[in-house]
A = this chain, B = another copy of it.
Amino acid sequence: MGPMSTSSLDPAVAARLKRSADGLVPAIAQQYDTGEVLMLGWMDDEALHRTLTTGRCTYWSRSRQEYWVKGDTSGHYQHVKSVALDCDADTVLVKVDQVGAACHTGARTCFDADVLLSDAD
């Protein structure tokens, strides 16, 4: 498996999904109750299929070139609550219940540490 290969994703969804040249779409993970944006990962058709059907958010790791069930190593799973495509079908929003820290640094979200601007009016 891997980007651009055959997947079990619902053909109706696959038909409207607009992938980048590398066969991937960005996937935003958001904590379902607090609204925190936790991280952004990448999905191919099969990662989206697994996210929709296994209840655990699954990405395609561009660095490792393999599927990556968030939490399989760290225990910090993302339990899937809802999944939506955007109006162009080129981005996925997954609302999840994040176990522990979303970021590999131990921070709650991947956007906590490198703030460029805050409290602008």
Report which A residues bind B (CB closer than 8 A): 13, 16, 20, 26, 28, 30, 34-37, 39-40, 52, 55, 80-89, 91, 93, 103-105, 107, 110-121
A89's nearest neighbour on chain B, judged by CB, is B114
A117's nearest neighbour on chain B, judged by CB, is B83
Neighbouring B residues of A88 by C-beta, 8 Å? 110
Q: Number of copies of this chain in the oligomer?
A: 2
Once bound together, how far apart are the Cα atoms of A35 and B36, in whole Å?
Answer: 7
Neighbouring B residues of A104 by C-beta, 8 Å? 87
**Contact across chains for A82 and B119 when beta carbons are under 8 A apart:** yes
**Contact across chains for A114 and B84 when beta carbons are under 8 A apart:** yes
**Contact across chains for B116 and A87 when beta carbons are under 8 A apart:** no
